[in-house]
Amino acid sequence: MSMRAASPTGKTRLNPVSEDSTFEDDDKNTMRLVEGVSHPSRAEDVQDLHRLQKSSTKPRQDDASQVASLSETLRSSARAVGPKVVRGEKSQQNIPFAKKLESQRSGFMRAMSDSGLKPTVVYHNLTPAELYEKALQHEPGTSITSEGALATLSGAKTGRSPRDKRVVREAESEGDIWWNKDKNGSPNFEMDERTFLLNRERAVDYLNMLDRLYVFDGYAGWDPEARIKIRVVCARAYHALFMYNMLIRPTDQELLNFGKPDFTILNAGAFPVNRYTSYMSSSTSVDVSLKAKEMVILGTQYAGEMKKGIFTVMHYLMPKRGILSLHSGCNVGKNDDVTLFFGLSGTGKTTLSTDPARPLIGDDEHCWGNSGVFNIEGGCYAKCINLKRQNEPEIWNAIKFGTVLENVVFDENTREVDFDNNAVTENTRASYPIHYIANARIPCVGPHPKNLILLCCDAFGVLPPVSKLTKEQAMYHFISGYTAKVAGTEQGITEPEATFSACFGGAFLLWHPMKYASMLAEKMDQHGTHAWLVNTGWTGGRYGVGSRFKLKHTRSIINAIHSGELNDAEYARTPIFDLRVPTSISEVPQTMLNPEAQWSDKQEFRSTLQHLAELYSSNFSKYASGGGFVSKDLAERIVSAGPHLMQNGSK
């Protein structure tokens, strides 16, 4: 008779069989059942399966003019045509190689370059996800952190190399440039055109030898009337992702119509310069040619060179258009009142400009034009050494997928970042798009500023926490760009050390500082803008004796500026610097407003104040002539707005 038979495993069989049936017959029946319900593969092989895995609602278009533009960018100085450009690695594995090249070759290509049969493979404006994949595949030292950020290393250089920056002396611009000579403080070391071409040739030849290149086309400047088109050519996916974050990302239509860039960065940073080339001071060189509209990077993989290279170029181009370029943070209040924050490292610029009650327009680079202010960048490049969630939640929360973490240390198992660890460098950084800041104002534009806040961290402890500046004082302190280093911040520093950086960004200026200061004064007059000097440093004595101003008190001062309270306040004047200090501020101890009152030794206070005044005067002597950008009378008034040194114990 028929019955359900037990299988060799002891389980009841699913199909009825006769008593004389064998287990082999039963297994065949089972296989037939499986074959009837399984889903057949829709791919012919594994490569075809990978192709089916990816779909796109916005397929990239291989526009011939765009490919031609990429080839022209990579053209060597000594060659009539650029290399054959292949837009990525096409999935044409079954097409013979010769046919494949023929199908990908642009019509403009008429001759073979010296690179022979090797096409230049270019990945153009990849998405962050694609750049993650390329970085993880091809760049050792790259990992994904527990929060999803891309952690990577910049190689031997973990900061900028300002002494290796060169500006090409060219007839069209040499009369505009503030050249370095006679210890005048200029960052602009000259190079001749031939040497630039030698370095460019070296960079382009290196890039064309590589198996893959990355190109990102984007914009600098949120004002459509003032923005410039930037092209970045680089050898690392990390660099492409960095500039994807830092530039303003084009829409699909803007990218299709991008055309020829206004300025190009050729980043061959993994390849050193020839040390025997003229004007070279090391194996690194960062060269800017305003005539060629190009920047060449050799010998450093630090991504910040690209960001600041664009800022340097904007510092030249924008003033020629009557637009003031500024190294500053910027936020805006509910009444559309804009504030610009100037300050060197350690002054609190990032902390104070990032205010939950005031949307952020940008954290570092801005322009002030005829319509108001606009951010130059599409992202932020934040220091993250000792980063804490409770202190800077906006930056902490921005570290996620798409963010580049540069030179950080992380746990090799959990991939959790140790932001306090400086094993690689003190200069650990995070690069992320500005929309990662929840309180960002998009588009990053605003009306004319109502307030300028010049921040300093006075470690000598003699400057007041806030003072209102006249136009001439604003120009003086803007050009001075003062702060102070303290013991422990750098090796060898045992007492406060004054630091001055013209216009709070001297390393990036191309014009004389007085050019920027005169434009600032003009715009202040036009729009009734107020200027303030805010000290976030020490009180009651120098560093090591006194104490630093509490952040809550500094925030109360900033709030009083924004509310208009200080416009109606009564003021007293300080000795030597002749600063106007409010006699009272809401939620700020009145005694704190008078720095001399906080010192127990009044004589030491006066001698320290005199010492700082001497440092200011010595530094400003480089700019006192006005550089030809202001009248002799105004130059004298600006100098008079600085400190007045005491003679024989009296002012």
Residues paired with 217 in a beta bridge = 231
pLDDT at 86: 77
Catalytic annotation present for 350: yes
CB 425 within 8 A of CB 407: yes
Q: Is 349 a catalytic residue?
A: yes
| CA distance linking residue 67 with residue 74, whole number of Å | 11
Which of 160, 515, 553, 580 is catalytic? The answer is 160
For residue 58, what pLDDT band results from cuts at 50, 70 and 90? Answer: low
> Does 389 participate in catalysis according to the annotation?
no
pLDDT tens across 474-500, in order? 999 999 999 998 754 444 455 789 999
Q: Which of 349, 512, 523, 542 is catalytic?
A: 349
Q: Which one of 350, 425, 480, 556 is the catalytic residue?
A: 350
Which pLDDT belongs to residue 55? 75
Length of the chain (residues): 651
d(CA 264, CA 367): 21
Mean pLDDT to the nearest integer, 79-104 = 55
Q: Is the pLDDT of residue 450 over 90?
A: yes
Higher pLDDT, 65 or 241: 241
Judge whether 327 counts as a catalytic residue. Answer: yes
pLDDT value, residue 96: 37
What mean pLDDT do residues 188-205 have? 96
pLDDT score recorded for residue 27: 56
pLDDT, tens digit, 9 for 90 and up, residues 560-590: 999 999 999 999 999 999 999 999 999 999 9
When mean pLDDT is compared across 39-53, 391-405, 468-482, the lowest value belongs to: 39-53
Q: What are phi and psi of 473, to 5 degrees?
A: -65, -40
Q: What is the pLDDT of residue 110?
A: 34
Residue 355 DSSP symbol: B
Confidence of residue 424 (pLDDT cuts 50, 70, 90): very high
* pLDDT mean over 79-98: 60
Adjacent-strand bridge partners of 432: 380
Residue 34 scores a pLDDT above 70 = no
Residue 351's pLDDT is 87
Region 584-613: what's the mean pLDDT?
Answer: 96
The residue-averaged pLDDT of 347-359 equals 91
- Alpha-carbon distance of 567 to 532, in angstroms, equals 11
- The verdict on whether 383 is a catalytic residue reads no
- Mean pLDDT (the chain, rounded): 88
Distance (Å, whole) CA 235 – CA 565:
53
Compute the distance between CA of residue 320 and CA of residue 223 in angstroms, rounded to an integer: 16
Residue 604 has pLDDT above 80, yes or no: yes
Tokens of 71: 């080839």
Q: Is 651 exposed, middle or buried (0-12, 13-18, 19+ CB in 10 A)?
A: exposed
- Local confidence band at 36 (pLDDT 50, 70, 90 cut-offs): low
For the question of residue 278 being annotated catalytic, the response is no
Of residues 456 and 646, which shows the higher confidence score?
456
Give mean pLDDT, residues 93-116.
Answer: 38
Please, is 193 exposed, middle or buried when counting C-beta atoms within 10 Å of its C-beta (0-12, 13-18, 19+)?
middle
**Which residue is catalytic, options 164, 217, 355, 364?**
364
pLDDT confidence of 12, banded at 50, 70, 90? very low
Report, as an integer, the average pLDDT of 326-353: 95
**Considering 429, 448, 468, 471, which one is annotated as catalytic?**
429
Q: Indicate the pLDDT class of residue 50, thresholds 50, 70 and 90.
A: confident
d(CA 257, CA 92): 27
Catalytic residue among 30, 65, 283, 345: 345
Active site residue 63: no
Instruction: Indicate the range of 32-46, 78-92, 125-139, 579-593 predicted with least confidence.
Output: 32-46
Catalytic residue selected from 124, 134, 327, 562 = 327
Active site residue 138: no
3-state secondary structure of 86: strand
The type of residue at 143 is S
CA angle centred on 179, ends 176 and 180, rounded to 5°: 165
Give residue 126's region: left, alpha or beta (phi > 0; psi -120 to 50). Answer: beta
The one catalytic residue in 200, 227, 236, 308 is 308
